[in-house]
Amino acid sequence: MSTSAEQKAQTAPRQGILSLTIKDKYALYAAYMPFVKNGGLFIPTNKPYQLGDEVFMLINLMEEKDKLPVAGKIIWITPKGAEGNRAAGIGVQFSDQDGGTTRAKIETYLAGMLDSDRSTHTM
């Protein structure tokens, strides 16, 4: 393998599929990142990811019978042992391809809670 091919392999974003089930409004509120363009979710995980990695999520929201398929990109990493006993995990920004569907669905579930002072996994 040539040196340039090795560098490309090391710097190319990895892809992965994440399955996430959110069972109640409070868990959704804690995971949702409304301050991110297109919206996003924090996903607790100990798996190693890099900023910029592309992922595909299958999100099961509360009583929805179908999972929401959403493409995204890692924009936030909380490492194991983070200050304040924060959960280790990643923040995934929803892709433009979604057209805002997932964000709108989440914000409908969280109506009236988005301005809360309750802490979240990210801020």
Is residue 79 in some structural domain? yes
Is residue 87 in some structural domain? yes
Is residue 5 in some structural domain? no
Per-residue pLDDT of the chain in tens (123 residues, 90 and over written 9)? 444 444 444 444 456 788 889 998 988 988 998 889 999 999 988 888 999 999 999 999 988 889 999 999 999 898 887 777 778 899 999 999 888 999 999 999 888 765 555 554 555
pTM of this structure: 0.77
Is residue 105 in some structural domain? yes
Residue 75: partners with Cβ closer than 8 Å, 6 or more residues away: 36, 40, 51, 91, 92, 93
Q: How many domains does the chain have?
A: 1
The CATH number that applies at residue 40 is: 2.40.10.220
Is residue 114 in some structural domain? no
Q: Which domain holds residue 104?
A: 14-109
